[in-house]
Chains A and B, each alone.
Chain A
Amino acid sequence: MGGLLRRILAALLTSLGVLLLVFFLLHLAPGDPVAVMLGDHARPADYTALRHALGLEQGLPTQLGHYLLALTQGDLGHSLHSQQTVSSVLAARIPATLQLALVALLFALLLAVPLGLAAALYKDRWPDHVSSSFALLGLSIPNFWLGPMLIMLFAIYLDWLPVSGQQGFASVLLPALTLGTSMAALLARMTRASVLDVLQEDYVRTAKAKGLPATQIMWRHVLRNAALPLLTLLGLQFGALLSGAVITELIFSWPGIGSLLIESIQQRDYPLVQGVVLLIALTYVTVNLLTDLAYARLDPRIQAD
């Protein structure tokens, strides 16, 4: 268990490092939250008063000290813009991102694994060509093009699905499709390569020599082993999805973490940006940690330590 403890410790330290980096970068960057809040015609006196009220005229180390001290008590501060607590703003946005990420992941898996498998089993024949073409397309089409095209086709021309926003389950489909396509492409390629690798293995030959039927060889011997490298990729990709798919959320006005990040940066809402970044960092390291733990469970050669 010492190993797990060490991993968790390392994960927390990584998140703290990211937080510090963002803290200083934000304050170094040009732009001023108070100016954004008061608009162009504000009086200097109001400006100074607001700065003081928000504690922005203090030195950076002092501000950081206050922030970290509050953080140890679980307090992420208040949004400069809306005055709500950062944690409540985050909490309001997380479900949308989670929903989008899960649906996109499910879509990607359902599409990619059969495609990759077919490509490997029928290597150099038409299923392989179909699958490879899809993968090439999926990887080369950018989300900022695919999203609007899907909107035009399904929302405007066919009028089957809502254009944007989050109203009901149907509204998640288009953004999930947009996000899932490139992920499915990557996964399909990985599945194909991984299955082809495993098919070459001596233990698959052993399974055949044992007289096992093909389906049993596929499920027990090939897929279980081929899934291992996929898991790593899946962990990384899912981490990225959970941290908010910035462009896709923007296109579909999806009220998730990604669009929150953009809004808060535009408003120079320092506590909120820091809160979002901390959440993203923690999500990333947690998903990675879980991936490694799952890996250790699936592959007996690797111990959790």
Chain B
Amino acid sequence: MSAEKPTVSDTRQQPVLRVEGLLTHLGPQDNPLRVVDDVSFDIYRGETLALLGESGCGKSMTAFSLMRLLPPGGRIRRGRVVLNGSNLLHLNESEMRSVRGGRMGMIFQEPMTSLNPVMTVGEQIAEAVHLHDDLARSEVRSRVIELLKDVGIPAPQQRIDDYPHQMSGGMKQRVMIAMALAGKPDLLIADEPTTALDVTIQLQVLQLMKKLQREHGMAIMLITHDLGVVSQVADRLAVMYAGHLVETADTRDFFVQPAHPYSRKLLQALPLAQRRQKNLSIIKGQVSSLQQHFTRCRFEPRCDQSIAACARVLPDWTELSGGHKVRCLLWQPEYHLKTSQSKQNEPQQAIESARSDAGEVVLIANNLKVYFPVRKGLFKRVVAHVKAVDGVSLELRRGRTTALVGESGSGKTTVGKAILQLQKATAGQVRFGTTELTGLPAADMRRLRKHLQIIFQDPLSAMNPRMLVQDIVAEGLRAQKLFKSHKEVYEQVRKRLQQVGLSADSMTRYPHEFSGGQRQRICIARALAVEPQLIICDEPTSALDVSVQAQILNLLKGLQRQMNLSYLFITHDLSVVSWLADEVAVMYLGRIVELGRVEQIMSQPRHPYTQVLLSAIPEIDSSRAGAQASNDGDRRKSIRLEGDIPSPIDAPSGCHFHPRCPKALPVCREQYPSPVPMGERGYVCCVLYAEQS
């Protein structure tokens, strides 16, 4: 162990963690991937540093390097990782083990799979307590209960003996945090801790982390791709691109004035209401291969503002103001002149004319119900029903997008499936044009599928891995017998692939050869091939990075205009909704609680649940971030919801939302509120508005 002393000139307090020139390689010795390439940063006590970047940029590899838990083939080539004065890279494995889970704790993205399913949560936390505290058996148990209480798990004496599967995702993430806290860490590394959670639960977990940070004074390194999460909890951030840090700044400074062209692009790619009239900004091309040794700016090939020197010089840090540093030649004084002359962002092409008319109705779902029976006992009697969809009515219009918004378990995906008759409805009608779809003979339904298509969240699992792209796209055409000859079929396939931005040579390749965004384009081409009237988009961009999401959203909007398509857009992401949708329906536990025009819902949400969802979208518009900084978020106060989403097996009596509703009245417990009309065709199901009408 080599003790690191702060230099005499260093007047600031010593950082909890100092990373210097970290270089991590992955894969073969002779041709390695430089997954972490010369990364340096400090984190101070009580501070949250966000490591921000898109997938594959090296954020998690940086974290695993710090923990010295790299996957097989990973190795740290150079650098220093100094935790409270000691260089972790000099420790032997057994010393390092006592650091892991001790002075340095870590939590992960998937709380669902990060806990051992065959051990109780109490046993798993106790393991961590044992390692880092010398306590007797009975003391361990009370320490575990104390930890569970700290992370806000209700009735910890009972929950301590639960198995992970008996807990919700948010609860499991709290258990993970409790486990990390057991070693009283100086530094908590949180790798995408809330990405797999619903927004209302995300807020709970983030606020818990903040609270624990205040109480214990620990430093947090937060790894995330989500600019919203950054703006909510980070004090400082570092933007990572292709294994390299390109910008570091205080969070407020960053959102007021992002300096690196990549950072700006990330912010511009966000779908926001005020960008409705334009295409979202996209980043051209793809991340450069990490197998090369960079001697130039690694963002240069994709940068709109690059100058000749960018291809020759590896940019060094330029300090803009206190702590705001950027690695970009445009900010270096000797190149500065040219910057002012270089063109700013290309003007975004306006894509939308005002839509005043409503559009004709293409499909009507009326009082749709999907119940799944719960069976028990010797003769499998039906003892209860999961009311996944419990009386949903919708009108989808030609050339318009209706967004169906809700958290996991709200039944939104089931609505989509029931409309397409992929899931038999328990009750209710679905009328497409003049045809009633429920109970339609299978052969007739098959013919109608030409008009009704679907796009899924995970494009890779939605395609047969052993089929060529041309056959994947052609399958629907063949099933519908739309063309006589092979030649005509493939001509149509080629046309559709071109329409979604893929070249003809992609036809004879397999799905795994494409990136996530390209795969989703193939799925869109497949849906388009039969020239449908309605496409159900089930979370089509949730698995994609922000910059790729922008491309897919642009594409969907463009196709809608060209082909006058109707979309039912199923999502949990309200910012996507605000950019894309015309009408919004908000679902909670199988029912629509509010429906209306997008402008109205986004600016004046009526239902308390809608208000909560909206408040969970972080404010990241640069023009407002400044204002927010000056009067500390008076406009948008996050409304925190207590508890988990209840199970649809035993939905709460009365209004389903009342147990979590900040505005619940006694009457809410008794009966489900009937819809109160709001605006044209809109309504809200809440007693707060019943008297007004």
A159 is an interface residue with CB less than 8 A from chain B? no
Of the candidate stretches B109-117, B133-141, B201-209, B438-446, the one touching chain A is: B109-117
Q: Which residues of B contact A301 (CB under 8 A)?
A: 117, 163, 165
Min CB gap A225→B, angstroms: 6
A144 is an interface residue with CB less than 8 A from chain B? no
Q: Which residues of A contact B179 (CB under 8 A)?
A: 206, 210
Contact A206 B176 (CB under 8 A): yes
Min CB gap B429→A, angstroms: 37
Contact B116 A207 (CB under 8 A): yes
Interface mask (A200-224 → B, CB under 8 Å = 1, otherwise 0): 0111011111111100100011001
B342 is an interface residue with CB less than 8 A from chain A? no
Min CB gap A46→B, angstroms: 54
Contact A209 B377 (CB under 8 A): no
Interface mask (B334-376 → A, CB under 8 Å = 1, otherwise 0): 0000000000000000000000000000000000000000001
A6 is an interface residue with CB less than 8 A from chain B? yes
Contact A209 B118 (CB under 8 A): no
Contact B116 A212 (CB under 8 A): no
Min CB gap A61→B, angstroms: 31
Contact B113 A202 (CB under 8 A): yes
Q: Which residues of B contact A2 (CB under 8 A)?
A: 376-378
Given A202-B114, A213-B97; A220-B119 close (CB under 8 Å) = yes
Contact B378 A210 (CB under 8 A): no
Min CB gap A258→B, angstroms: 36
Contact B105 A300 (CB under 8 A): no
Q: Which residues of B contact A299 (CB under 8 A)?
A: 117-118
Q: Which residues of B contact A221 (CB under 8 A)?
A: 116, 119
Q: Which residues of B contact A212 (CB under 8 A)?
A: 97, 101, 127, 131
Given A210-B100, A301-B165; A203-B114 close (CB under 8 Å) = yes
Interface mask (B161-184 → A, CB under 8 Å = 1, otherwise 0): 001010000000000100100010
A13 is an interface residue with CB less than 8 A from chain B? no
A-B contact pairs, 21 of them (CB 8 A): A6-B378, A202-B108, A202-B110, A203-B114, A203-B116, A205-B108, A206-B179, A208-B69, A210-B179, A211-B97, A211-B102, A211-B131, A213-B97, A216-B127, A220-B116, A225-B116, A225-B117, A228-B118, A300-B117, A300-B120, A300-B165
Q: Which residues of B contact A225 (CB under 8 A)?
A: 116-118
**Other contacts beyond A202-B110, A212-B131, A224-B118: 12, CB < 8 A:** A2-B376, A2-B378, A202-B108, A202-B113, A205-B114, A207-B116, A212-B97, A224-B116, A225-B116, A298-B118, A300-B163, A301-B163
Q: Which residues of A contact B45 (CB under 8 A)?
A: none
- Closest residue of chain B to A208, judged by CB? B69
A158 is an interface residue with CB less than 8 A from chain B? no
A5 is an interface residue with CB less than 8 A from chain B? yes
Q: Which residues of A contact B163 (CB under 8 A)?
A: 300-301
Please provide the chain B residues from 521 to 547 with a CB less than 8 Å away from any CB of chain A in the complex.
Answer: none
- Closest residue of chain B to A5, judged by CB? B378
A249 CA to B115 CA, complexed, in Å: 47
Interface mask (A252-274 → B, CB under 8 Å = 1, otherwise 0): 00000000000000000000000
Contact B101 A210 (CB under 8 A): yes
B99 is an interface residue with CB less than 8 A from chain A? yes
Min CB gap B396→A, angstroms: 39
Contact A211 B183 (CB under 8 A): yes
Please provide the chain B residues from 640 to 687 with a CB less than 8 Å away from any CB of chain A in the complex.
Answer: none
Q: Which residues of B contact A201 (CB under 8 A)?
A: 113
Q: Which residues of B contact A300 (CB under 8 A)?
A: 117-118, 120, 163, 165
Taking Cβ atoms with an 8 Å cutoff, the residues of A that contact B are 2, 5-6, 201-203, 205-213, 216, 220-221, 224-225, 228, 298-301, 305
B132 is an interface residue with CB less than 8 A from chain A? yes
B67 is an interface residue with CB less than 8 A from chain A? yes
Contact A203 B176 (CB under 8 A): no
- The tally of residues in B whose CB lies under 8 Å from a CB in A reads 33
A228 CA to B376 CA, complexed, in Å: 25
Given A2-B377, A5-B378, A300-B165; A210-B131 close (CB under 8 Å) = yes
Q: Which residues of A contact B378 (CB under 8 A)?
A: 2, 5-6
Which of B97, B98, B99, B120 has most A Cβ within 10 Å? B97
Q: Which residues of A contact B131 (CB under 8 A)?
A: 210-212
B49 is an interface residue with CB less than 8 A from chain A? no
B106 is an interface residue with CB less than 8 A from chain A? yes
Min CB gap B195→A, angstroms: 13
A229 CA to B77 CA, complexed, in Å: 40
A203 CA to B179 CA, complexed, in Å: 12
Q: Which residues of B contact A213 (CB under 8 A)?
A: 94, 97
Contact B118 A206 (CB under 8 A): no
Min CB gap B66→A, angstroms: 11
Q: Which residues of B contact A228 (CB under 8 A)?
A: 118
Please provide the chain B residues from 62 to 100 with a CB less than 8 Å away from any CB of chain A in the complex.
Answer: 67, 69, 94, 97-100
Q: Quick one: which of B69, B99, B120, B165 contacts A205, CB cutoff 8 A? A: B69
B128 is an interface residue with CB less than 8 A from chain A? yes
- Closest residue of chain A to B123, judged by CB? A220
A225 CA to B113 CA, complexed, in Å: 13
Which of B97, B116, B131 has most A Cβ within 10 Å? B116
Q: Which residues of A contact B377 (CB under 8 A)?
A: 2
Min CB gap A289→B, angstroms: 16
Q: Quick one: which of A6, A211, A220 contacts B101, CB cutoff 8 A? A: A211
Interface mask (B436-459 → A, CB under 8 Å = 1, otherwise 0): 000000000000000000000000
Which of A209, A220, A299 has most B Cβ within 10 Å? A209
Q: Which residues of B contact A5 (CB under 8 A)?
A: 378
Q: Which residues of B contact A211 (CB under 8 A)?
A: 97-102, 128, 131-132, 183
A140 CA to B204 CA, complexed, in Å: 58
Please provide the chain B residues from 226 to 264 with a CB less than 8 Å away from any CB of chain A in the complex.
Answer: none
Contact A206 B183 (CB under 8 A): no
A207 CA to B377 CA, complexed, in Å: 38
- Closest residue of chain A to B106, judged by CB? A209
A288 CA to B450 CA, complexed, in Å: 48
Given A298-B118, A300-B163; A209-B97 close (CB under 8 Å) = no
Contact A206 B127 (CB under 8 A): no
Q: Which residues of A contact B106 (CB under 8 A)?
A: 209
- Closest residue of chain A to B93, judged by CB? A214
A294 CA to B342 CA, complexed, in Å: 71
A221 CA to B376 CA, complexed, in Å: 32
A32 CA to B98 CA, complexed, in Å: 77
Contact B67 A206 (CB under 8 A): no
Min CB gap A218→B, angstroms: 13
Contact B116 A209 (CB under 8 A): no
Q: Which residues of A contact B98 (CB under 8 A)?
A: 211
Min CB gap A296→B, angstroms: 12
**Nearest 7 Cβ contacts at the A-B interface:** A211-B101, A211-B100, A210-B101, A300-B163, A202-B113, A203-B116, A209-B106
